[in-house]
């Protein structure tokens, strides 16, 4: 009887250790923030990531954005009313260019944006390019002219 108790306790301990080990291994591959695209880094909280890339998110973007963060890059997509997108552009000190005649090739040719995040830019929309260059981070964004605007942002460390 004693052997059964010791054997049963040993099995329980081994199963618990295996379960904890599995959680530790999966911790870096599991999305803990529903706004994050799969594969986003979990070394920092979302607020720390946005601060590191000098990105401010207005309240109007709550529930309207997705992002992917790595140590050197940030991808961010916001779908919101025009006033919210304009507020984001202004608060993040992004300069604005003239409207583009077609979907920006920079976004459509970016394999990560196109393949991993399914960023599709309909050709019939007019896009405006936005940019901010600073000492450590370069930021490029594009907005469309739809009623529910989309903003696509890529920031990277130089």
Encode pLDDT of 33-53 as tens digits: 889 999 898 788 888 999 999
Higher pLDDT, 22 or 43: 43
Residue 119 contacts residue 152 (beta carbons within 8 Å):
yes
Does the pLDDT at position 30 exceed 50?
no
Average pLDDT, the chain: 84
**What's the first-to-final CA gap in the chain, in angstroms?**
67
Grade residue 31 by pLDDT with cuts at 50, 70 and 90.
very low
Mean pLDDT of 129-155: 92
Nearest C-alpha neighbor of 47 from the set 24, 69, 27? 69
Nearest-angstrom CA–CA distance, 154 and 158: 13
Grade residue 20 by pLDDT with cuts at 50, 70 and 90.
low
The pLDDT, as a whole number, for residue 15 is 64
Strands 95-100 and 73-80: unpaired
Q: Percentage of the chain surpassing pLDDT 70? A: 84
| C-alpha gyration radius of the chain | 22
Mean pLDDT of 94-116: 82
Mean pLDDT of 109-138: 88
The pLDDT, as a whole number, for residue 77 is 96
Grade residue 23 by pLDDT with cuts at 50, 70 and 90.
low
Higher pLDDT, 27 or 59: 59
Stated pTM of the model: 0.76
């Amino acid at each position: 009887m004693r052997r059964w108790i010791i054997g049963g306790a040993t099995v329980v301990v081994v199963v618990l250790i295996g379960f904890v080990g599995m959680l530790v291994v999966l911790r870096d591959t599991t999305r803990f923030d529903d706004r994050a695209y799969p594969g986003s880094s979990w070394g920092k909280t979302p607020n720390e990531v946005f601060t590191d890339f000098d990105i401010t998110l207005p309240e109007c973007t709550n529930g309207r954005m997705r992002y992917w963060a790595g140590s050197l890059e940030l991808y961010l997509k916001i779908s919101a009313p025009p006033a919210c997108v304009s507020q984001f552009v202004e608060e993040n000190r992004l300069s604005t260019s003239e409207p583009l005649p077609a979907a920006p090739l920079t976004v459509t040719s970016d394999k990560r944006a196109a393949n991993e995040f399914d960023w599709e830019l309909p050709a019939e929309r007019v896009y405006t390019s936005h940019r901010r260059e600073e000492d450590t981070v370069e930021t490029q964004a594009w907005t469309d002219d739809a009623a529910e605007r989309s903003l696509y942002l890529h920031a990277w460390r130089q």
